[in-house]
Structure 1
Amino acid sequence: MADHRAALRAVVTQRMLTDPAHDLAHLDRVWLIAQTIADQRTNQRVLLAACYLHDLINLPKDDPNRHLASQQSATESEPILAELGFAASEICNTQHAIAAHSYSANIPPESPEACILRDADRLDALGAIGIARTFAVSGALGRALYDIADPFAEDRVLDDQKFAIDHWKTKLLNLPAEMVTDGGRDLAHKRVTQMLGFLEIFSEEIGHPLPINWKSV
């Protein structure tokens, strides 16, 4: 396993573009989370490979073809896995996990490894790291932190294409309900609670009380 992990890290280091939210550190964290929520049914080789190869093709969040990126990553993974000596069945299972991990692809996960990768990848968007990633991505895309006139969209439609904080309400704070593993669900609730604590402080500092409908998930 250690040799495969080193080989996979070497591959993605060469092939992945620089992206503060989808870099080698992200892949290391997803693997760490995946091990935390995995159970005895899990094929660790398949899970390891899926964790490190799931973002081989990483399109920007505002790219119209972003929903295809996970399937393209699955396709790109095949020769890499074959070179590492993975059996045909392992390659197929790894490719499914990669394809099904994506939020935008909307492909149902049908194996333990696919369920775990899906949850682990989304868990990395929550908690302290999730807070940092939200603002790093929004900054890279030129989006404002919040709407000065109406930070929590009490009298407007949420728009996470313009405001970073809107993305929390439109997606991130809802992720616990979408987890498909028990361990993922428990960890998601813990991390969202941390984010809500941050939002309370954030709301005080900008002089706008946090609305009730933002305080629970």
Structure 2
Amino acid sequence: MSWHESIAAYLHANAQPQHKYGHQPRLYALTQQIGEGLTYDDDIVFAACFLHDLGVFIGHRPEDEAALAKWDHVAYTCEKSPSILREAGFPEEKIPAVLDVIRQHQPHDDPQTLEATLVRDADILEQLGAIGITRTLAKLGSDTRFVTFTNARDSLKKSLDNLPAKIRLDRTRELAEPRIRTLTKFLMHLNEEAGDNLY
């Protein structure tokens, strides 16, 4: 088994709830679309894409609600990732760069390398469009932040209002356009259909 297969298998086994696993291969596929024609280290990007959310999985995050509210899933992921990468046979000299990408993958972060920028831009795309809607609605009932449909709608509206401006690369902006249109239309129709009774 290659280190790629080993890392993917580890994440597939540890992604709980199971629907969270699809984010990893989709994210990596997006980095390949965004990064076409650019020169970067794909090993680093692959490893970061698959490991970056380890700390959000059930079994890796706290179950206590108060502890979960203060949980730093990035710090946890950076602590656990080196041993996972070594066990998979990932190149030792590239591990620090993987951790840097993981530390810089969120929209509020300031990525310092092309690898980190690719992963961060791809992660922003995953929060827009039909996939962004699906991922958000899947959190209802399993995420303490999402108790009602209104919580989900407000989160999607916040993503639409804030995330497009955070995109760094021109290719990502192109890929974002149809996703922004989809999310805009969804929210418009949701408000039309539910009115004041979404709950």
Range into which the TM-score falls when normalised by the shorter chain:
0.7 to 0.9
**SS at the partner of 2:31?**
helix
User: Which of the residues 132, 143, 148 maps onto 1:144?
Assistant: 148
State the match for 1:38 in structure 2: 35
User: Are residues 107 and 129 of structure 1, via their aligned partners in 2, closer, same or farther at CA, if it must alter by over 3 Å?
Assistant: closer
Q: Structure 2: give runs of 5+ residues left out of the alignment.
A: none
Q: Structure 1: give runs of 5+ residues left out of the alignment.
A: 147-162, 209-217
Is the 8 Å Cα contact of residues 30 and 120 (structure 1) preserved in structure 2?
Answer: yes
**How far off its partner does 1:45 sit?**
0.7
Map residues 81-92 of structure 1 onto 2, 5 A cutoff.
81-92=85-96
Is the 8 Å Cα contact of residues 153 and 187 (structure 2) preserved in structure 1?
Answer: no
State the match for 1:25 in structure 2: 22
User: Are residues 172 and 140 of structure 1, via their aligned partners in 2, closer, same or farther at CA, if it must alter by over 3 Å?
Assistant: farther
Count, aligned residues: 185
Say which one has the larger Rg. Answer: 1
**How far off its partner does 1:37 sit?**
0.5
Alignment identity in percent? 31
**How far off its partner does 1:167 sit?**
1.2
Q: CA RMSD in A?
A: 2.3
Is the 8 Å Cα contact of residues 50 and 95 (structure 1) preserved in structure 2?
Answer: yes
**SS at the partner of 2:140?**
helix
Map residues 177-216 of structure 1 onto 2, 5 A cutoff.
177-207=165-195
Distance of 1:49 and 1:91 partners within structure 2: 9
Is the 8 Å Cα contact of residues 52 and 74 (structure 2) preserved in structure 1?
Answer: yes
State the match for 1:4 in structure 2: 3
Q: Which amino acid aligns with 1:178?
A: K
Is the 8 Å Cα contact of residues 105 and 116 (structure 2) preserved in structure 1?
Answer: yes
Distance of 2:195 and 2:53 partners within structure 1: 39
State the match for 2:15 in structure 1: 16
Is the 8 Å Cα contact of residues 53 and 77 (structure 2) preserved in structure 1?
Answer: yes
**How far off its partner does 1:125 sit?**
1.4
Q: Point out which structure has higher relative CO (alpha carbons under 8 A, 6+ apart).
A: 2
2:61 pairs with 1:64: no
**How far off its partner does 1:19 sit?**
5.6
Distance of 1:207 and 1:11 partners within structure 2: 44
**SS at the partner of 2:149?**
coil
State the match for 1:151 in structure 2: none
Q: Deviations for 1:135-187, whole angstroms, at most 9, x for unmatched residues?
A: 121343452213xxxxxxxxxxxxxxxx2211122234321101122222222
Scaled by the length of structure 2, what TM-score is found? 0.82
**SS at the partner of 2:139?**
helix
User: Which of the residues 68, 73, 76 maps onto 2:80?
Assistant: 76
Map residues 60-139 of structure 1 onto 2, 5 A cutoff.
63-66=68-71, 68-103=72-107, 106-139=108-141
2:51 pairs with 1:53: yes
**How far off its partner does 1:79 sit?**
1.4
